[in-house]
């Protein structure tokens, strides 16, 4: 990864997933109809997350963002 393009969002605490999702979301927002509505269908995502503790995976929590 080049230092010039990676640094800004990475040092601000964004993940690659967050960065690429934002880029894709912006591209989708600039589409003509009917492509825009079709692309909007894939916009909704959620994350299932659990922090490994005592050698086991606890019940995951569902969250809307990747922070």
- Chain residues in the site for other proteins (CB under 8 A): 1-2, 5-6, 8-9, 11-14, 19-24, 26-32, 35-36, 39
Enter the tokens of residue 32.
Answer: 């003509």
Report the alpha-carbon distance of residue 31 to residue 21 in Å, rounded. Answer: 16
According to DSSP, residue 64 is labeled S
> How far apart are CB 53 and other proteins at their closest, in Å?
28
Closer to other proteins by Cβ: residue 12 or 62 = 12
Decide: 40 and 56 in contact? Cβ < 8 Å: no
> How far apart are CB 37 and other proteins at their closest, in Å?
12
């Amino acid at each position: 990864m080049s230092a010039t393009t990676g640094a800004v969002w990475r040092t601000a605490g964004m993940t690659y997933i967050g960065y690429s999702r934002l880029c894709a979301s912006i591209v989708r927002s600039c589409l003509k109809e009917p492509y825009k509505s079709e692309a909007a269908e894939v916009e909704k995502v959620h994350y299932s997350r659990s922090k490994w503790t005592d050698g086991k995976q606890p019940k995951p929590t569902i969250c809307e963002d990747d922070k």
